[in-house]
Amino acid sequence: MRLGVLDIGSNTGHLLVVDAHRGAAPLPAYSYKEPLRLAEHLDETGSVSQQGIDALAAFTAGAQRVAEEKGCEDMLAFATSAVRDSGNGDSVLAEVRERTGLSIAVLSGEDEARLTFLAVRRWLGWSAGRLWVFDIGGGSLEIAGGADEFPEIAGSLPLGAARLARQHFTVDQPDEDAVRQVRKEIRAEIARDAGRLLRHGAPDHAAATSKTFRSLARICGAAPSGEGPLVQRSLPLSALVEWIPKLTAMTREELSGLPGVSPSRAHQILPGALVAEAVMDIFELSALEICPWALREGVILERLDQIGDLT
């Protein structure tokens, strides 16, 4: 069957059209996306602004047209932390539903981590053993771990790259004291509940997914996306540690010239790097394998499993 998966993230609205059936890998057929930047369309009360709502409604209407043109039988629409954590999330989605007719579900942070873990588990397989998975989104950091298809531990922290950029990195080339303070806050947030994952023992495999991790891996020497998803890619901690002072000293224009970094996300690379470094340091990981599957694939896989259970 052909499915449309509409992912309303903190950075981007993304419709992924896939051909999928149970027991097979979802095959991407078409992609339609726009940089909504909902995490940056928050007013002083933490609510999504009318400008952000208008952008979301317009994108949703356009995505529906694309899905119809591409022959989608069903649309799976969900929103993550930008809407979940906003002060007016319910009214935002109610207005979008009134203007477009589409209901968008809000995933909890735990569900986001759980479904991302499912996608990574299916990609890496059972040979990965006990698995840890990390995902830096625009609004949150998801952490999950376990030995099965669904994690024993799944949680979300307010450490997304766009959120941190908006809160702490509003100017080019922040000074060392500012970076040190943000680094301290990030590490305290991650370490607060690190024991939930660590008490189950070290993983056999540690993986990361998301645009931020992929960009950081590319900066640190991983193969470009044009070489395909089957090429193994990793993010070594040693390389990242060497790059962070360089990223701190760069202007946004210089950052956008780095491999794997788009101009719209250049200001998020440094905070994303600080989160990635903290994750690997606190959980004592020398490297993370980059997985091409993430939340969208997890949503698709769970949907296909549900269909199969009904037949």
Residues of the chain with pLDDT under 50: 310-311
Domains of the chain (ranges; CATH) run 2-106 (3.30.420.40), 109-295 (3.30.420.150)
pLDDT at position 310 is 44
pLDDT at position 311 is 43
Tens digits of residue pLDDT in 125-175: 999 999 999 999 999 999 999 999 999 999 999 999 999 998 998 878 888
CA separation, residue 110 to residues 44, 150, 185, 306 (Å): 27, 11, 22, 19
In the chain, which residue ranges form alpha helices assigned H by DSSP? 50-69, 81-84, 89-100, 109-124, 161-168, 176-192, 194-198, 211-219, 237-249, 252-256, 269-282, 295-310
Average pLDDT of the chain? 94
Q: How far is Cα of residue 120 from the mean position of the Cα atoms in its chain? A: 13
pLDDT at position 306 is 85
pTM value > 0.75: yes
Residues in Cβ contact with 80 at an 8 Å cutoff, skipping those fewer than 6 apart: 7, 8, 9, 10, 106, 107, 112, 137, 138, 139, 140, 295
C-alpha angle 158-162-301 in degrees, rounded to nearest 5: 70
pLDDT at position 309 is 54
Instruction: State phi, psi for 159 to the nearest 5 degrees.
Output: -125, 40
